[in-house]
Structure 1
Amino acid sequence: MWWIYALLSALFAALTAIFAKVGIKGVDTDLATAIRTVVIIVIAWALVFIKGANVGISNLTKQNWTFLILSGCATGLSWICYFKALQLGKVSQVAPVDKLSVALAIVLAAVFLGESISLKTGIAAALIISGTLVLIF
């Protein structure tokens, strides 16, 4: 079941690039990011309340809060850089380079989380890195 959500995530990420490229034309990218963030906040909190997940907020630990806040900071910085890259470059170049994050996540998961990298996963990461380098240079 995880792969269905992963494929949907990829589809929505692709649509994000297309919609953003059109939406940021003539707009400051930080303003565009702020607008997009407000939309995401509304959707995310609506889902939390619809599902009744808001009762779990009192169970969050200091570690949960710390790493969720760090994740939010990383997401925000990623979006700011992504929108600026989209404004300056082509979607067909920016979106694939942005997906270098997949290979970086594999490496960082091995280093910081102790996840093992199988031969198949290592080859996939190497291909992503190679493809990124081809696009950049």
Structure 2
Amino acid sequence: MNTNHWFMWAILSACFAALTAIFAKVGLRQVNSDLATLIRTVIIVFVLSLVVWGLGKWQNPLLLSGKTWLFLTLSALATGASWLCYFRALQLGQASQVAPIDKLSV
């Protein structure tokens, strides 16, 4: 993969992140934010499974190194905590207030 295309992927990420805030705010109107995060996660697992399989990127995860597993696990835990907090903040506040603060993460 050409590493010069990082900017395009970063712009697409920002666009999808904007849609996430808008769609999530509307979707949170009649559901608890923690349940909404679970539903969102299940859908993401399903879609990403199709993408990985469809693009032929599947490999045996048991062959990955312990260090890879450790850091992917830590990343997953941080992502889950971030999503729980983000959805709770969206449920309580305005998307136009929550999303810019969320983007301060870097």
State whether TM-score is above 0.5.
yes
Q: Which AA in structure 2 matches 1:79? A: W
Residue 42 (structure 2) aligns with: 38
Root-mean-square deviation (CA, aligned residues, Å) is 1.0
> In the TM superposition, what whole-angstrom CA distance separates every residue of 1:49-105 from its partner, at most 9, and x where no partner exists?
112221253431001111101111100110000000001111111000001102xxx
Distance in 2 (CA, whole Å) between partners of 1:58 and 1:34 is 25
Matches within 5 A, 1:28-107: 28-102=32-106
Distance in 1 (CA, whole Å) between partners of 2:75 and 2:61 is 17
Where do 5+ consecutive residues of structure 1 fail to align?
103-137
Distance in 2 (CA, whole Å) between partners of 1:89 and 1:96 is 12
Distance in 1 (CA, whole Å) between partners of 2:91 and 2:59 is 40
Distance in 2 (CA, whole Å) between partners of 1:31 and 1:4 is 33
| Aligned-pair identity (%) | 57
Distance in 2 (CA, whole Å) between partners of 1:55 and 1:31 is 31
Distance in 2 (CA, whole Å) between partners of 1:70 and 1:47 is 23
TM-score between both structures, scaled by the size of structure 1 = 0.71
Larger Rg: 1
- Runs ≥4 in structure 1, deviation > 4 angstroms? none
TM-score between both structures, scaled by the size of structure 2 = 0.91
Instruction: Report the number of matched residues.
Output: 102
Where do 5+ consecutive residues of structure 2 fail to align?
none
